Structure 1
Amino acid sequence: MVAFEGVTKHFGGANGQPAFTALGGIDYAVPKGAITGIIGRSGAGKSTLIRLVNGLELPTSGKVLVDGVDVGALDEAGLRTLRRSVGMIFQHFNLLSSRTVYDNVALPLEIAGIDRKTIDARVRPLIDLVGLSDKAGRYPAELSGGQKQRVGIARALATEPKLLLSDEATSALDPETTQSILELLKTINRDLDLTVLLITHEMEVVKTIASEVAVIDKGLIVESGRTFDVFTRPRHETTQALLSASIGAKLPEWIRSDLKAEPAAGDRALVRLIFFGETAFQPLTARLVAEIGPDVNILAGAIDEIAGEPFGSLVVSYPADPVTLERANRFYQQTGLATEVLGYGA
């Protein structure tokens, strides 16, 4: 649905001043019909990337293709047509305070010159879809944050777009409301066959609804793929840092701070056992104990779901003597159990 081909974006650079590079060369494809998440730290280039999709910004070089159309090659009339096929929802809702829920949803249709009967036939079902049929005559000041975002989503769908952009759409919402908005986006993606491209710094959002994910850092895509694969086996240090606080079992700081890279006499190995795919439903912890002996401590554990797939992790410790380590490693190789050595400690 969206293809970035060698895209760069520079700001400034006039009067002999060096330009700021927001995007340094992006090559990435957003699959049609999927929910794709773009994650990264503040200032990584997420917002610039998404603003290129609907022509709010134009690339300095390279191409942005939306359903095969080169956004940078469009004139004003072409951009208006493009924007009707690309809906956008915002972090702070961007509703007009003087217009009711109905009138806010109807606004893009009015701007497009559509007649009142057609507007009514399209707006009322959208208000029902987002669960606000009893709020059609209310004003934004009378709504909660979650209700305002639902109005924003209905408005974004009014022109019957084929692509929906979400710019930190849940960042201003509490966790319970965030979950309800994510469920709504999943419903829209499924029932309307709508491609969704969202940017966020919230790992929980991507983990919950995105089937594909790309990690952006300093204006470059540093890692991408299926959400489950990237989240369970992050390769780039930026991805690892972003996910460290939200995925898998956590160790207390007082344990982490004492870990060493190499074992000393009498130390124990601290190892994260990672369960997914075929290993998610096997009694491998009990089999590990049978293999290396009963001196295995479980220090932390977590069960999770990533993009609809089960994922679990346990942090265990056992003696770091050569015989035990060799038996444990052989067991991991035989069973295919994924592991991560966190370090060694007394």
Structure 2
Amino acid sequence: MILPPVAAETAPHERAEAAAPMITFEGVTKRFGEGTEAFTALDGIDMTVNRGAIAGIIGRSGAGKSTLIRLVNGLEKATSGQVVVDGTEVGGLNDAGLRGLRREVAMIFQHFNLLSSRTAFDNVALPLEIAGLDRKAIRAKVGPLLDLVGLGDKATRYPSELSGGQKQRVGIARALATSPKLLLSDEATSALDPETTQSILALLKQINAELGLTVLLITHEMEVIKTIASHVAVIDKGRIVEQGPTFDVFTAPQHETTRILLSSTLGTSLPEWLRSGLKAEPAAGDRILVRLTFFGATAFQPLTARLVTEIGGDVNILAGAIEEIAGEPFGTLVVSYPASPEILDRANRFYAETGLSTEVLGYVA
């Protein structure tokens, strides 16, 4: 499955045709330990992330996310299979080759990893100092990077004087210091509050758009994926169980793991008292519960009002949400109405005529 890039000026399918792979996982397995103590962290991973993409990998703790991302910059080596970054097979690199790779593959972390004894400016300058640049060249590079991340006025501040979001912005500026082609994000927003998380995600989208930087992020937060990633892969017990465009995966998840991860994200989960009373088959006088999904051409039409007109006024709205997923509108509504044959027939004709996506959740007395 190819995870193509998305840009504002072009549709996903158009960019996918022209994109070249930045990362390719080919049959990748990673085991730790030997013999009976061996543990398989990754098992047969096949995935491609195209140049210029923002792609996400999501899964529970222990699913294999961190191991997978550490294979990209050579911090771990695959037991079998290949990890190819911009045409270079990572597993075949010697120490010098790995050092070169890590200048082109930067990483930002959950806990920022800043040096407390260095100012924001000097933290960003560190990789440039290691690369041997003189102070003039470093100043010419670091100043614009701090401006880019919105911290031009915080150059002389120490990490203890910065907020969590500001520390992460310093971490992003430092990651960009060596002009990488690929940015890896390892749970980079997990330690931040929701408002700060949104500002960091907006910054990553800006960097992706302005610099053409490929971003691969791992997270357990579905909200992060929904906001920033054009494509997503779901990992469970070391295997990719589902992957594709974020909108498709979120609106029509195929694997149970994905459904569980999404269960509290889209705002239409039913209360336990109602869920526990659902029946698979109706009895006389029961009501049907239906989830209506609005996207594409149906997203901006007054279809709920038309449904009430079509089948009568006895329609209850039980849950609902309006979302934006990967930049596309998406809404869900859970409704109930009498499960009489006549009303069901009228409702089904209405759904067929309008193209409204529906899912029968069950029946209640």
User: What TM bracket, shorter-length normalisation?
Assistant: over 0.9
Indicate the SS of the match to 1:281.
coil
CA contact (8 A) 1:182 1:205 kept: yes
Indicate the SS of the match to 1:119.
helix
Match of 1:64 in 2: 83
Match of 1:10 in 2: 31
For 1:319, the aligned partner's letter is P
Match of 2:9 in 1: none
For 2:201, the aligned partner's letter is L
2:196 aligned with 1:177, yes or no?
yes
User: CA–CA distance in 2 between the matches of 1:115 and 1:26?
Assistant: 42
Match of 2:140 in 1: 121
For 2:174, the aligned partner's letter is R
CA contact (8 A) 1:213 1:226 kept: yes
User: CA–CA distance in 2 between the matches of 1:102 and 1:115?
Assistant: 15
Match of 1:213 in 2: 232
Match of 1:139 in 2: 158
1:228 Cα deviation from its structure 2 partner: 0.7
User: CA–CA distance in 2 between the matches of 1:11 and 1:334?
Assistant: 55
The superposition leaves residues 37-79 of structure 1 with CA deviations (integer Å, 9 ceiling, x where unpaired) of: 1111111100000000000001000000111110001000000
2:119 aligned with 1:100, yes or no?
yes
Matches within 5 A, 1:243-254: 243-254=262-273
2:239 aligned with 1:203, yes or no?
no
Indicate the SS of the match to 1:17.
helix
2:329 aligned with 1:310, yes or no?
yes
1:248 Cα deviation from its structure 2 partner: 4.0
1:91 Cα deviation from its structure 2 partner: 0.2
Indicate the SS of the match to 2:139.
helix
Match of 1:191 in 2: 210
Match of 2:243 in 1: 224
User: CA–CA distance in 1 between the matches of 2:224 and 2:211?
Assistant: 20
1:17 Cα deviation from its structure 2 partner: 2.5
5+ residue gaps, structure 2, are 1-21
TM-score, length of structure 1 as denominator length: 0.97
CA contact (8 A) 2:55 2:229 kept: yes
Match of 1:269 in 2: 288
Indicate the SS of the match to 2:266.
coil
Matches within 5 A, 1:18-167: 18-167=37-186
Equivalent position to 2:187, from 139, 151, 168: 168
Which ranges of 4 or more aligned residues in structure 1 deviate by more than 4 Å?
none
User: CA–CA distance in 1 between the matches of 2:155 and 2:262?
Assistant: 40
Equivalent position to 2:302, from 283, 286, 298: 283
Match of 2:19 in 1: none
CA contact (8 A) 1:248 1:312 kept: no
1:250 Cα deviation from its structure 2 partner: 3.1
User: CA–CA distance in 2 between the matches of 1:336 and 1:235?
Assistant: 21
User: CA–CA distance in 1 between the matches of 2:32 and 2:94?
Assistant: 21
For 1:135, the aligned partner's letter is K
1:109 Cα deviation from its structure 2 partner: 1.1
Indicate the SS of the match to 1:44.
coil
5+ residue gaps, structure 1, are none
User: CA–CA distance in 2 between the matches of 1:10 and 1:51?
Assistant: 13
For 1:93, the aligned partner's letter is F
CA contact (8 A) 2:295 2:330 kept: yes
CA contact (8 A) 1:165 1:196 kept: yes
Query: Aligned-residue CA RMSD in angstroms?
Result: 1.1
User: CA–CA distance in 1 between the matches of 2:196 and 2:92?
Assistant: 39
Indicate the SS of the match to 2:136.
helix
The superposition leaves residues 210-232 of structure 1 with CA deviations (integer Å, 9 ceiling, x where unpaired) of: 11111111111111111111111
